[in-house]
A and B are shown apart, each in its own frame.
Chain A
């Protein structure tokens, strides 16, 4: 339907028609134009007389009234993005239009409201269930990976429920957390969850994902506010973008949905470790080369053939069940949702069990008063293997597995763990000798009341509560020797009587309670004027208070030492005194937004948010974050229709500007704090900064949205320039002082510039229902990150862990380089003696950055009769990965101490006393293309009227193939190697490998 041409002729012919009409008898037809899909009113739809060009437009609530000659029998109703319809021109008509192009009229959730894509001035991406990744999904971010331009999702490892990094339009903060703000059903999440840091039985474990409590099946839609003009509505917390999660509501007649998935996962890649024969050959040759008389050296070959990777990894079977029931009618809607997941890890003993319950209830109490209640309750049980991120010589579980001597048995003949008493640890003992579980209970409740004061003005009150409580128990078996539990015989560096691990065991209890409450008052004004122009205005107040309480304690000496006791209270030998810590943070905000749509052609939006945070110093607590957006629907212009209109059926240009804040730094950073120590001393532990203020990110962006080929091609191009200033950073404080550093706002900027493209193309449009159809969705983004104005400040981060690597780091933040630029000597080759040769006298050289500069996602979807299929590839290039695993473990010298290595090391010419210095030898390009997701679904035919209303069967695969030159298992890895809280990126160090997963799913509707 070429609405533009209709419209252009309309004005020219108007006068003449009026003349004609004046002579005839008139009648008035009224009606309402609604979206056929969800019944929502369509504003500014055109209503014209068939065969003529006289007409009107619908108002904001979709209604129209037109006075026409009584001879007119048909009206044509049309609107952009909908197929037009003819209706009888009589009385009161109600017209439902079908969408032709989903994209333009798709309603996207933006902060504090919804908008149609065509009315959005900012860069907002909305993903519904269809676009989500399929398979075993532990956490909502996994649904998004690779699906949207400019959103980079990196899972740190293959651990179920492990942390995931989501960066939107690049990494903007030098310090502190770069994760976006998550808003679930309108309530900003406080997030958090057991981090695994603090006290542990075995080194520092990987952080957990704070979103794993959400049932991914219960998510209807995820909106991502990428640019500042949209994200600024969340002000101080929107600097890293905002992810809005909407859970499902009840719709239509009562219906019951049942989902079940069952999956099998295996390691996608394993280390190419030497066999017993190769290992013994390597070890003997290495010792002989080092001048050691091999004949006198015994004990290395125990004659077994143990594949330690088989001992550690398993084929993981996971099941998930989801039952949902819901309905809606004129007044109420209700959705109940329950799920149970049991995910096994590919590392034995790793796993995640989750039970969730969700309730979403809406009631139009009176014509003016509406109540919404959302309750999400979940319990997540994580079980951990001792996969740590900072292991030294003995490695964590994965490190010990790589180095384990393949000629050693797993068990002694009497069933105990084999231990060669050489300080090297039996990986199976690490698996079986520890029990480490947590239980995470989370309640997220949200009650809102909205009241229509007038037809235009609505007041809404939101009250949200987020309660999280984690309890983690870790136990170490009393049969483990002193080489276990961080290789110490004591507790946290102190020799308590009877605290040795051997014969006494050890237990750690940790509790983390996090409470957050939000209260928000909003006033919304929504008015469509008679001329079709519309105004929406919002004024709001928001207050959020969050408290954290952490407590940890170690105990030892369980009675009876023959087996591991998994009851904390059984450890009666002694306890450390409890360490505890509490923080409280308050955020208070005033904000306002105005949108004005003029002639359906020019759309303006302006907003301002004033945020106050208790974390900042007095006098600097408040920050103002303004934003502006403008959209020009170009094809509404007459002059454009003749040019652009020939190519495009829709063409919008957008401009946006906005600033957002960041306060993701520890509470109390502006204060000088003293802490009383257990030994009676009082130490001042922080230096105050009375000038600490907000870190702000300012983004300027422009974009176009277009539709071509009769709606078959939809595209978006965006450019952005995002600059973060007043960087919050912990820097050296001039000594003498109570502690080494303090939080300041650094003068530098972190600048992210980039282009984003996304295209959706209906390559083959089904000729008829059930005919073959082929859709292609492609997105890509180019990103350039740079640090400017940093002066001579050089901050080192990215420590390198492992034996002989204490104090080593390999990343730097400095002026003129991207964040997370690697710095290290450039390795050239091995010399004739097998010693490393480095350029420039082994001086540190700047190398590439760990941040990718190109991301792309390609989805091909097919449909044919009752079959649908999709194949999704994800590509990430232009980044480097530091292979710390190789640096620490895969060296010729490892053989000298009877540690296994990969086969290439056995035959390398490296000398066994060549030190494994940090160098570009271990720095690799991470470029990869992954066949990330493929699925095929079949809709089983159900007889009309039968008990089952719909039945779908799905088979999907995740991480099916990886194309990369990276020598480690997977270049998509990010093991935390931060120094002094300055984050690192792109380290690969004995992380849980990524799984390849095949999932079968059934979805039934009743």
Chain B
């Protein structure tokens, strides 16, 4: 009996010992698996990979919402009308066109986070990356910081080595401008020139940095303005020295023989259509579309088509945004930038490039051109009149800036187009404007000659004279939907003026966006902008 007890106890105790041994107290360290790894503060991983991540962050600037929406919907170029049950979207588009945004606007927060996340990645690379990557990282950081400064009027800064509980310091707009300039100058000095190879514009180049510097200087008056007194600008706001620097920078870009302006309207569309990365002679800084060979993931451009085209068209879009009648009417009827038929595109889809107005067409399965109907079965005729609050399906003229690539057989599309950030024509127009603002003409190029060079390419008659007041309209015609309209209207002092479907002048404080509420509450160093 006793023996038995001892035996059993022994067995039991050994089992117990085994179990206890199996699970000695754990340290509870977390195990991370697969594609994920714990970031170690000092090491930044492979530097090439990180450069890819920074390039990839610029994809956030591409898309119908956020950055692009604030740059375009706030102007006379674009609006997002509510169409009955469609497109109310919580008033998100309407509020931008009406300048009725506040710190709670949903796209504001996404825009802030998106650009700042790119800014952080760029800073990590500048401060901790490989020396070879530094000039590119500085260009990218300047590019990101410019957007933050431009939209929000303040730029927060987090050093790469900062611990997780560090609250970022905030640079006011005027200080941020100087800080960005340092990066830009370093980038210009350190970056190679654009070699003119296919896809070269997808990387940071000397010309891209020069372009960025020119754009910053052109808008310097805006950035150096007293935020509490956002009035218009006088001629004196633009320093002749800065204008001459712009002219020098643009001339430096022009010195690269890879950049030139074509002679026909078709060459204008070479800058945007599906093979723009190979055909265009103007691309200075871009981001590649489908399957593009570049660092980081690709950015599609089908949104640029779909945001306007109707459900029943051959690119079945989402029937949303339209341009304003005033903007559409600012073009000469023969302007190739307004409407051009494109080979391999128009006869496949029924679309022209440019603006889509009037009866819309497509091709049926037998290749016969037919009228497109709306969803209630009546012919789809895009009309210039549009109401921000109450529009029916066909109201408003649509845009077709990035014609997609179609497979003729099954009409499926791909979107290999590069999205254009910086373009040579813009550089030339900056030079023209700098001359008109007190800079000295060089190389025999005058404001008029530059403008007429672009007008000739567009197929419109030459202007006989160009005043500063003509430049805004000309920039609009050349650069619409290139995400510069808001900056242009602010610089020309007309941003707050009424436009189609915004009948009242908006408050001067609207030239900067509010800091999103969530950001203000996360960082005590951020003070809400004047007027909000």
A and B part of one assembly: yes
Does A613 make an interface contact (CB < 8 A)?
Answer: yes
Chain A residues near B165: list those with CB within 8 A: 690-691
Does B119 make an interface contact (CB < 8 A)?
Answer: yes
| B34-85 at interface with A (beta carbon < 8 Å) | 34-39, 45-46, 48-50, 52-53, 55-56, 82-85
Chain B residues near A742: list those with CB within 8 A: 164
Contact B296 A500 (CB under 8 A): no
A489–B411 alpha-carbon span in the complex (Å): 11
Most A C-beta atoms less than 10 A away, residue of B35, B82, B85 = B85
Contact B86 A804 (CB under 8 A): yes
A482–B312 alpha-carbon span in the complex (Å): 12
Chain B residues near A292: list those with CB within 8 A: 376, 378
Complex: chain B residue closest to A688, CB-CB:
B164
Q: Mark A121-155, 1 if CB is under 8 A from B, else 0.
A: 00000000000000000000000000000000000
B150 vs chain A, min Cβ distance (A) = 16
Of A482, A682, A736, A898, which is within 8 A of B117 by CB?
A: A736
B329 vs chain A, min Cβ distance (A) = 24
Contact A736 B168 (CB under 8 A): yes
Complex: chain B residue closest to A979, CB-CB:
B106
Of A673, A898, A915, which is within 8 A of B85 by CB?
A: A915
Most B C-beta atoms less than 10 A away, residue of A683, A803, A891, A917 = A683
Contact A681 B50 (CB under 8 A): yes
Complex: chain B residue closest to A842, CB-CB:
B91
Does A925 make an interface contact (CB < 8 A)?
Answer: no
Of A613, A683, A685, A731, which is within 8 A of B522 by CB?
A: A731
B174 vs chain A, min Cβ distance (A) = 19
Known: A735-B519, A896-B376. A681 touches B25 (CB 8 A): no
B501 vs chain A, min Cβ distance (A) = 15
Known: A298-B377, A673-B38. A916 touches B19 (CB 8 A): no
Q: Interface stretch among A340-348, A583-591, A713-721? A: A583-591
Does A423 make an interface contact (CB < 8 A)?
Answer: yes
Chain A residues near B52: list those with CB within 8 A: 677, 679-682
Contact B312 A422 (CB under 8 A): yes
Complex: chain B residue closest to A809, CB-CB:
B90
Does A38 make an interface contact (CB < 8 A)?
Answer: no
A166–B165 alpha-carbon span in the complex (Å): 37
Chain A residues near B48: list those with CB within 8 A: 680
A687–B33 alpha-carbon span in the complex (Å): 18
Q: Mark B299-337, 1 if CB is under 8 A from A, else 0.
A: 010000000000110001000000000000000000000
Contact B38 A672 (CB under 8 A): yes
Contact A893 B84 (CB under 8 A): yes
Of A459, A582, A670, A673, which is within 8 A of B39 by CB?
A: A673
B67 vs chain A, min Cβ distance (A) = 15
Contact A493 B300 (CB under 8 A): yes
Contact A366 B8 (CB under 8 A): yes
Contact B82 A804 (CB under 8 A): yes
Contact A736 B376 (CB under 8 A): no
A614–B522 alpha-carbon span in the complex (Å): 27
In this complex, the interface size class of chain B, counting residues with CB under 8 Å from chain A, is: 35 or more
Known: A736-B116, A793-B521. A519 touches B123 (CB 8 A): no
Does A543 make an interface contact (CB < 8 A)?
Answer: yes
B413 vs chain A, min Cβ distance (A) = 8
Chain B residues near A917: list those with CB within 8 A: 88, 90-91
| A744-797 at interface with B (beta carbon < 8 Å) | 791-794
Q: Mark A889-914, 1 if CB is under 8 A from B, else 0.
A: 00101101110000000000000111
Contact B90 A614 (CB under 8 A): no
Chain A residues near B523: list those with CB within 8 A: 734-735
Contact A738 B88 (CB under 8 A): no
Contact B34 A668 (CB under 8 A): no
Complex: chain B residue closest to A503, CB-CB:
B410
A143–B113 alpha-carbon span in the complex (Å): 46
Contact A674 B39 (CB under 8 A): yes
Does B424 make an interface contact (CB < 8 A)?
Answer: no
Known: A671-B38, A681-B52. A792 touches B521 (CB 8 A): yes
A807–B35 alpha-carbon span in the complex (Å): 31
Known: A581-B34, A672-B164, A673-B36. A733 touches B522 (CB 8 A): yes
Chain A residues near B56: list those with CB within 8 A: 677, 679, 681, 683
Does B258 make an interface contact (CB < 8 A)?
Answer: no
Q: Mark A358-384, 1 if CB is under 8 A from B, else 0.
A: 000000011011000000000000000
Q: Mark A800-834, 1 if CB is under 8 A from B, else 0.
A: 10011111110000000000000000000000000
Does A621 make an interface contact (CB < 8 A)?
Answer: yes
Of B50, B86, B90, B297, which is within 8 A of A918 by CB?
A: B90
Complex: chain A residue closest to B87, CB-CB:
A804
Chain A residues near B297: list those with CB within 8 A: 677, 679, 681
Of A668, A688, A731, A740, which is within 8 A of B32 by CB?
A: A668
Contact B87 A681 (CB under 8 A): no
Contact A582 B33 (CB under 8 A): yes
Complex: chain B residue closest to A298, CB-CB:
B377
Known: A299-B377, A613-B28. A912 touches B84 (CB 8 A): yes
Chain A residues near B119: list those with CB within 8 A: 735-736
Known: A423-B316, A682-B46. A734 touches B36 (CB 8 A): no
Contact B84 A500 (CB under 8 A): no
Chain B residues near A13: list those with CB within 8 A: none
Q: Mark B271-301, 1 if CB is under 8 A from A, else 0.
A: 0000000000000000000100001111010
Contact A586 B84 (CB under 8 A): no
Q: Mark A645-678, 1 if CB is under 8 A from B, else 0.
A: 0000000000000000000000110111111110
A671–B41 alpha-carbon span in the complex (Å): 11
Most B C-beta atoms less than 10 A away, residue of A495, A791, A893 = A495
Contact B32 A671 (CB under 8 A): yes
Known: A734-B522, A807-B106, A893-B84. A586 touches B117 (CB 8 A): no
Chain A residues near B257: list those with CB within 8 A: none
Of B49, B300, B377, which is within 8 A of A300 by CB?
A: B377
A259–B391 alpha-carbon span in the complex (Å): 62
Does B15 make an interface contact (CB < 8 A)?
Answer: yes
Chain B residues near A914: list those with CB within 8 A: 84, 390
A588–B26 alpha-carbon span in the complex (Å): 7
Contact B158 A805 (CB under 8 A): no
Does A296 make an interface contact (CB < 8 A)?
Answer: yes
Chain B residues near A915: list those with CB within 8 A: 82, 84-85, 88, 389-390
Does B476 make an interface contact (CB < 8 A)?
Answer: no
Does B263 make an interface contact (CB < 8 A)?
Answer: no
| B2-21 at interface with A (beta carbon < 8 Å) | 4-5, 8, 12, 15-16, 19-20
Does A1002 make an interface contact (CB < 8 A)?
Answer: no
Does A1005 make an interface contact (CB < 8 A)?
Answer: no
Most B C-beta atoms less than 10 A away, residue of A494, A687, A689, A691 = A494
Of A677, A791, A913, which is within 8 A of B392 by CB?
A: A913
| B115-134 at interface with A (beta carbon < 8 Å) | 116-117, 119-121, 123
Does A36 make an interface contact (CB < 8 A)?
Answer: no
A102–B34 alpha-carbon span in the complex (Å): 55
A610 vs chain B, min Cβ distance (A) = 12
Complex: chain A residue closest to B19, CB-CB:
A461
Does A739 make an interface contact (CB < 8 A)?
Answer: yes
Known: A735-B158, A805-B90. 10 other contacts (CB 8 A): A519-B23, A682-B49, A732-B519, A734-B523, A736-B156, A737-B158, A806-B90, A808-B89, A893-B84, A913-B390
Q: List 18 A-B contacts (CB under 8 A).
A: A365-B8, A368-B5, A423-B375, A494-B290, A671-B30, A671-B39, A680-B296, A681-B50, A688-B39, A731-B522, A732-B113, A732-B519, A737-B116, A738-B121, A742-B164, A804-B83, A807-B92, A894-B85
Pick the 4 closest A-B CB pairs, nearest first: A735-B116, A681-B52, A736-B120, A893-B84
Residues of A within 8 A of B (CB): 283, 287, 290, 292-293, 296-300, 365-366, 368-369, 393, 422-423, 449, 451, 459, 461, 463, 482, 489, 493-495, 500, 519, 521, 543, 545, 580-584, 586, 588, 612-615, 621, 667-668, 670-677, 679-685, 687-691, 731-740, 742, 791-794, 800, 803-809, 835, 891, 893-894, 896-898, 912-918
